[in-house]
Structure 1
């Protein structure tokens, strides 16, 4: 009955340990799943919606370094026994998730080494995603970066509509809003997407992947190698 891929693919014994303490909750847009440098009260396994991992500089500059949907869980710092991390993790597209108190979750991880190893592989896949995001930000044009980001959101969304504003895209891609508008118009001109008020509609997934070229696909392959077929 669950849609989260980690809950689906973990062993029946491991899921049984978690099941009684999982609570399904709604996650509105902008809801903060964990705050920088603070221990979080809950671990979340998203069923729907998209969360962003956002890094901020001391002067307030910010950019997205990771995307989490029904493919994963958050915060991965719990799996790594790090306690907390310096990032903000919040919902960019509203949804819902199963949550479990962190104290109970960590106790289960200590007792279930198979589950711990499985989720550690997910943490590795998230690190790979962040690495390829850094690479893309450094060497790829905004048009290609936007195409990659749309594809990653599409992977984690039902249907072809993604609710996103230009302002939010500019934060996620660390560019000015006019650059986002220009890039969206370019993808629209190639008939890859439609862009309406606060909504991006994927029109041609195959052609969008072809346009993204080597910007998209490597971290997705690593996820499949480490975890299994994505949802």
Structure 2
């Protein structure tokens, strides 16, 4: 099982935990492959595992009692999902589902919590990450209220691009409509707008980023706040992070 230093360093949270704390945490981690649509947590249930993603993208989804749902955030190799069970020991408030297949190191929640409570270095990282994720959800609410569908699409493409290697992002129209809380025809129209500006190339279930800087400029400021918060709160704690 690959819980080597190299494997741990592929996840942004684990790579920021001090060595003495990692020595206690490492035996709890096991590698898993996560297929598309794998459920990492279910709303209303206490999560059995916490997944520290090394690849792929998980969608964090809130659903009403009437069955209406909306994505409130995404998690990739920078973070972990779900974190509610770790921090509180209570049931998860959201569904977490893999939208882009990947892999992770996972730990049983009941085994991880004692390490978190015994090692301030671990709890510090997790609470800092929770704060950065809160900024991400707030940024999503801000974008939904103030920016066009095309600008919001550019933001989500950038967020997904941040969490993969290369420029080819596997994104279905169904996933994009959930991300943006709009109907699928609106997604198609928005993709055409970005293609027309030569910012992306879109195929069935695939978006290719052609001009990242252009996408950032097109966002008109709705991208970057959450990313800056993560850098300040979490990334700066990594041993080799620039000062």
Query: Where on the TM-score scale, by shorter chain, does this alignment land: which range?
Result: over 0.9
* Contact map agreement 2:46 2:89 (CA 8 A) in 1: no
In the alignment, what sits opposite 1:226? Answer: 233
One of 153, 156, 161 as aligned partner of 2:163 = 156
What is the TM-score of this pair, normalised by structure 1? 0.97
Q: Give me the whole-angstrom Cα distance separating, in 2, the residues matched to 1:42 and 1:15.
A: 18
Equivalent-residue separation in structure 2 for 1:222 and 1:137 (angstroms): 19
Secondary structure of the corresponding residue to residue 214 of structure 1? coil
Which whole-Å CA distance do the structure 1 matches of 2:67 and 2:121 have between them?
A: 40
Cα deviation for residue 82 of structure 1 reads 5.0
Q: 1:4 to 1:189 in 2, by over 3 A?
A: same
Unaligned runs of 5+ in 2: 1-5
Of 185, 201, 204, which residue of structure 1 is paired with 2:208?
A: 201
Distance 2:112 2:220 in 1: 39
Gap runs ≥5 in structure 1: none
Q: CA deviation at 1:118?
A: 1.6
Q: Which residue of 2 aligns with 1:89?
A: 96
Which of 37, 51, 54 is 2:44 aligned to?
37
Q: Deviations over 1:191-224 (max 9, x none)?
A: 0000001100001111111111211001111111
- The two structures have a TM-score, normalised by structure 2, of 0.92
Q: How does 1:79-118 map to 2 (within 5 A)?
A: 79-118=86-125
Rounded to whole Å, the distance in 2 between the matches of 1:79 and 1:171 is 27
1:184 to 2:185 alignment: no
| Matches of 1:17 and 1:192, distance apart in 2 | 45
Matched, 1:144 2:151: yes
User: Partner of 2:54 in structure 1?
Assistant: 47
Tell me how many residue pairs correspond in the alignment: 231
Q: How far is the alpha carbon of 1:85 from its aligned partner? A: 2.5
**Structure 1 counterpart SS, 2:88:** coil
1:129 is aligned to 136
- For 2:139 and 2:86, how far apart are their aligned partners in 1? 21
- RMSD of equivalent CA atoms: 1.4
Aligned partners of 2:129 and 2:208: how far apart in 1?
A: 29
What is the CA-CA distance between 1:77 and the residue it aligns to? 0.9
**Displacement of 1:79:** 3.9
Cα contact 1:79–1:116 (8 A) shared by 2: no
